[in-house]
Amino acid sequence: MSPTARIPSICIAALFLWVTTPVFSHILLESPNGGEVLVPETTIEISWLILVTHDVQGWDVHYSTEGVEGPWVPIALGLPVGDASAGAVHTLDWNVPLAAASPQVWIKVRMDNMTADDLLEFSDAPFSVG
């Protein structure tokens, strides 16, 4: 078999591994992370965990009622760095607005990095507000 005849099977194997290998995130959104039922105009805690230490400059938190592609509505922008070490848990009290009422809501946490690309973490599944 010629070397060029093996390329398609190698490409297929590489594609299979790429599609089936879980992506390792540097942030883990702990809550809300899918399936919760939130009541509008109440306060809930959004929490996330740092898995990998970076040169964190701050945090932004958003919600969407459209899906993980957005559009995104800011909850808090430019939150302080806090403890930037791996294993640190960060929290934000969110007064859930009536405008967020929807059967499908997602949270996005953005780690603003100085020396690398910003890192994003999304709810694993939608939760509802209503």
Question: Splitting the chain (130 residues) into consecutive groups of 10 residues, what average pLDDT does each group show?
Answer: 49 39 70 97 97 90 96 97 94 98 97 83 97
How would DSSP label each residue in 53-81?
Answer: ---EEEEEEEEESS-TT---EEEEEEE--
Query: What was the pLDDT predicted at 8?
Result: 53
What is the pLDDT at residue 53? 83
| pLDDT for 69 | 94
Residues 103 and 40: beta-carbon distance below 8 Å: no
CATH code of the domain made up of 24-129: 2.70.50.50
pTM value > 0.85? no
Cα–Cα distance for residue pair 63/60, rounded to 1 Å:
10
pLDDT score at 117: 79
- Per-residue pLDDT of 14-36, as tens digits, reads 333 333 333 456 899 999 999 99
How high is the pLDDT of residue 15? 39
